[in-house]
Chains A and B, each alone.
Chain A
């Protein structure tokens, strides 16, 4: 009997463990938006890059996190938000985070927005400033076009002075 109970408990533990791993699989923004009713009010894991402004609202902040398909608003407390160092823009790559939180398809607290109320965040990879290097091809092309434009302007000016010369002459 003891043996049977031990087997049962082991099996139940295994099932629970598998279930936890499955539910811990990150969901894409497209899947969340397309199956919003299914995931509404449930705890989800979402991974993406922080983009734009980190907007403080009292003890909480809004951070928008883009997974490459869409961006979703993440509502998190200031303590958690303190871990965010970089937000993505033209000149920066934002921190890549794994967010665990409750998904809302029409959040009552936030006027019906689709959002995730974060319970925990984990940094997967840190962000960084993006150093812009001069594109020499573009620079050279600019100079060539500048030359052509100057020639056109010189040609127009010469013809204009010729025409005015003919008129006065």
Chain B
């Protein structure tokens, strides 16, 4: 029978915490950029400009049909090479930057779908009322539709944030030391992979489960 030895975890906590900060950095960046860029995409898809709507649709469909692992690799292995050919300089360690860019652009596609549904859930009369009051269509969108849409879709946006938080562990493929990457490295170093992986899983579970409870309460309060 396997004998557990958890002794390498306490000493590694500072390292793991440092990893967790990177995990949070990637998550927060992707949430903020993803929601802003996703909102623009959603508005473009629903707007009157045919070309913009088409481009936004193509963007969203492309990112939603490709695995996240591939997107991370694209922005680590392929895009920087193109940039190097243009700017012709050594860019140093680009792992964090490329992870940030990949996650932000990838999540924007998913957020844009949520936001689009949110915008469509706002009653049509609201838009007409805004226009009748003399607001431009841009003002109606910004001042009337979007605030209500965001209120409706807050639970979904948060649920997506939980999924995103879990997905950040995939930066493992480019060797970035986020929480999971650090746990793996420490486990590998000390020959205690079993304990470290179980510890990582438990940590993710506690965080995600707690946040999803909060989201559920929020949802119950909103639907009243």
To the question of whether A and B form a pair in one complex, the answer is no
Tell me the B residues contacting A by CB distance below 8 Å. none
Tell me the A residues contacting B by CB distance below 8 Å. none
